[in-house]
């Protein structure tokens, strides 16, 4: 009930803990041997031999109880919580690393998409729209007076130019022959 509180040593590594346990066991056995040496016949006497087994058993139980009191019991819930938090931390770090890899690419693709949408939403007149606008303008603006006469005259001019283009090489050949004949005639003696 009123048990004295034991001072606790915090030991982080197992080899150090095993060394402490061995030192305590050696100290207890050394104290037992010292007590047994004070008995009649010394530590190897008959009385000491009879007491040794009983003392070793009692001291062993006391030592085991003492070590059980000093070590905290295994808390399975705490262990699961720690492992769960560790797993969650690793998962979170993995997701963050993945986001750091993919987020710049996705931001770049969003920027490109926005730029493409902005470009497509700007108004550029299409050829079909221009043709429709011209037709509407022609319907809205009446043709000038004598428009048909001007169109007929233009057709006649184009036809005449086509004939001139066809007959021009022939006329050039005739002119060159006439020039050659004239030069021959002028070179003849009178």
Find where tokens 């000491």 sit.
Answer: 48
b/e for 84-103, b at 16 or more Cβ within 10 A?
A: eeeeeeeeeeeeeeeeeeee
What end-to-end distance do the CA atoms of the chain give, in Å? Answer: 167
How is residue 181 written in tokens? 């004949």
pLDDT digits (tens, 9 = 90+) for 157-168: 999 999 988 999
User: 89-128: per-residue pLDDT in tens?
Assistant: 999 999 999 999 999 999 999 999 999 888 887 766 677 7
Cβ pair 60, 70 in contact under 8 A: no
Residue partners of 144: CB distance under 8 A and separation at least 6? 150
**pTM attached to this predicted model:** 0.35
């Amino acid at each position: 009930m009123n048990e004295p509180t034991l001072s606790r040593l915090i030991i982080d590594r197992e080899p150090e803990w095993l060394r402490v346990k061995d030192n305590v066991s050696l100290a207890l056995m050394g104290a037992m041997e010292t007590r047994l040496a004070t008995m009649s016949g010394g530590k190897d006497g008959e009385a000491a031999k009879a007491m040794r087994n009983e003392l070793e058993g009692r001291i062993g139980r006391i030592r085991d109880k003492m070590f059980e009191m000093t070590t905290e019991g295994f808390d399975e819930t705490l262990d699961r919580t720690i492992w769960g938090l560790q797993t969650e931390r690793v998962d979170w770090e993995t997701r963050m690393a993945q986001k750091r890899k993919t987020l710049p690419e996705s931001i770049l693709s969003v920027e490109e998409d926005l730029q493409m949408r902005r470009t497509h939403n700007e108004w550029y007149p299409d050829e079909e729209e221009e043709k429709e606008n011209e037709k509407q303008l022609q319907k809205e603006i009446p043709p000038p007076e004598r428009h048909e006469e001007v169109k007929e005259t233009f057709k006649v001019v184009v036809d005449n130019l086509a004939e001139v283009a066809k007959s021009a090489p022939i006329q050039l050949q005739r002119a060159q022959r006439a020039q050659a004949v004239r030069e021959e005639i002028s070179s003849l003696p009178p």
